[in-house]
Amino acid sequence: MRYTHSNSANVTIHPSQFPDVIQRQLIAALRRGDVPPKFLYDSVYQTQKWLNVHQIHSPSQIDQEVNSIYDSVFDFGFNQVHEMESALIGLGCGGGKKDAMCLSKLKIGSGLLHYVPCDVSQAMTLIAREEVGKNLDFNKIYPLVCDLSESDNLEEFFDILLPFNHKRIFTFFGMIPNLEPNLILPKLFKMVRKDDDLFISANLVPGENYQRGIENILPQYDNQETRDWLLSFLIGIGVAVDDGDLNFCIEPEGELLRIVAYFRFSRSQVIRINNETITFESEQPLRIFYSYRHTVNTLNKCLLEHDLKIIFSKISKSGEEGVFKVKRSV
């Protein structure tokens, strides 16, 4: 489905983000007691809350050296001039600043460039469109709203949006921590062709001790800005801030550790979504956030298990951010 805003931005909506689908998924998630990440970016208000968190706490925003590792990986990836029509597909584009950095490194004329900002949040795709549109014709930018974890046919949408023989460059920045590896990596492998480029970034656990390292970075999550962002989801479904307590913890999941936020209700609560009701009892937890924190070794292992291999990487001096050029191994 495509529609045109009053500002002439054409936006493609994947069926995974149709309103009836979203509503069914939300009801099912609340009944399970865990909220998928997509619902934390659903509204313009939530998007702005997240951008505030990113601005204040993201390593790429507070450590200037982090931007240099992106430059290094892009310089490695785009070290040759070519005149092939090329498309950058930003999977989980966010505000588009890193995609804009990537596009600026491509050694081809802007007339040969195309950009697909792809995100679960329509607001994010439009913000990314504005960011990249500072240096690229808006007519060559095709926003796509979709849920990556629920989409099995995105390749078909790319073929529709980009109906020409082109080189494809995928970015997957900051997405690895917030999606289940065994769910998203097979989809990523299927999406990327053998000759495509894929750039991934991940927040990493610094230091030699995995447990101690993740404990040291917990304040990047347990802070007022992140709390305001996460609580905005609850407020949006009719839960008051004082209906319970929001707590962060570290929990193991297989060989990995992740930071998790639970809202524990202090009294019984009934949530109504259209004609459906979901009841939470006093002391019942609702998981509303998780973030896997990898080391370079755990990330490399996860990628190899899904036939993706790192061919070049740069890690920040702090050890908290890594950028990787990745290819299919088969």
Please check whether residue 110 lies inside any domain of the structure. Answer: yes
Is 264 a domain residue? no
Residue 275 domain flag: no
Domains contained in the chain, number: 1
Q: Among 162-166, 251-255, 261-265, which stretch is predicted with the lowest mean pLDDT?
A: 162-166
Model confidence pLDDT, tens digit, residues 3-34? 344 467 899 999 999 999 999 999 999 999 99
- List the structure tokens of 114: 């195309």
In a domain, 229, yes or no: no
202, 174 Cβ separation under 8 angstroms: yes
Of residues 112 and 173, more confidently modeled: 173
Range(s) of the domain holding residue 68: 2-207+295-327
What is the number of other CB atoms lying within 10 angstroms of the CB of residue 207?
16
Mean pLDDT of 255-269: 97
Task: Classify residue 299 by burial, with Cβ atoms within 10 Å: 0-12, 13-18, 19+.
Answer: buried
Domain containing residue 55: CATH number: 3.40.50.150
Does any domain span residue 166?
yes
d(CA 49, CA 9): 23
- Tokens found for residue 67: 């931007």
The count of other CB atoms within 10 Å of the CB of residue 130 is 15
In order of 87, 137, 151, 238, 295, the CA distances from 189 in angstroms are: 18, 30, 13, 39, 21
> HSE-up of 17 (CA within 13 Å, CB side)?
23
Answering whether pTM is above 0.85, one says yes
- 255 domain-assigned: no
pLDDT per residue as tens digits for the range 191-234:
999 989 999 999 999 999 999 999 999 999 999 999 999 999 99
- Mean of the per-residue pLDDT values of the chain: 91
290-315 pLDDT, tens digit per residue, is: 999 999 999 999 999 999 999 999 99
Return the exposure string of 5-22: e unless at least 16 CB atoms fall within 10 Å of the residue's CB, then b.
eeeebebbbbebbeeeeb
Which pLDDT does position 6 carry in this prediction? 40
pLDDT reported for residue 7:
60
Does any domain span residue 246?
Answer: no
pLDDT class of 57 with cuts at 50, 70, 90 = confident
In a domain, 280, yes or no: no
User: Has residue 2 got a pLDDT over 50?
Assistant: no
Note the pLDDT of residue 1: 40
Confidence band for 154, pLDDT divided at 50, 70 and 90: very high
Share of the chain above pLDDT 90, in %: 77
Is it the case that residue 182 has pLDDT exceeding 50? yes
Q: What is the mean pLDDT of residues 267-278?
A: 94
Number of Cβ within a 10 Å radius of residue 31: 11
pLDDT computed for residue 64 by the predictor:
79
The predicted pLDDT at position 157 comes to 92
